[in-house]
């Protein structure tokens, strides 16, 4: 899972400097991404990890942090 977290951190680092402990922070609240950026993020994740998100994934509380998103990706890959 650390590999996924690192990939996500690198993705976000392309457009902003990341604060300490970013894995646990809500990336919407700290301004790392906006609603348009989320679409791009989802497309990049689905392509890179060869997965498909469902509506339920977007509604999960975990979806708003890097660590939580990495967990969701891990769960989807298990299915």
Query: Can you give the CATH number for the domain in which 42 is found?
Result: 1.10.1200.10
In terms of Cβ atoms closer than 10 Å to its own Cβ (0-12, 13-18, 19+), residue 52 is exposed
Residues spanned by the domain of 43: 2-13+20-78
pLDDT score recorded for residue 60? 96
How many domains does the chain fold into? 1
- Which of 22, 1, 18, 10 has its CA nearest to residue 66? 22
**Consecutive sets of 10 residues in the chain, 79 residues long: mean pLDDT of each?**
97 94 96 93 98 96 97 95
Indicate the pTM of the whole model.
0.93
């Amino acid at each position: 899972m650390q590999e996924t977290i690192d990939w996500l951190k690198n993705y976000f680092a392309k457009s902003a400097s990341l604060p300490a402990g970013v894995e646990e922070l809500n990336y919407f609240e700290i301004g790392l991404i906006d609603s348009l950026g989320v679409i791009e993020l989802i497309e990049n994740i689905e392509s890179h990890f060869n997965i498909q998100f469902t509506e339920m994934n977007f509604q999960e509380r975990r979806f708003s942090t890097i660590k939580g998103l990495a967990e969701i990706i891990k769960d989807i890959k298990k299915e």
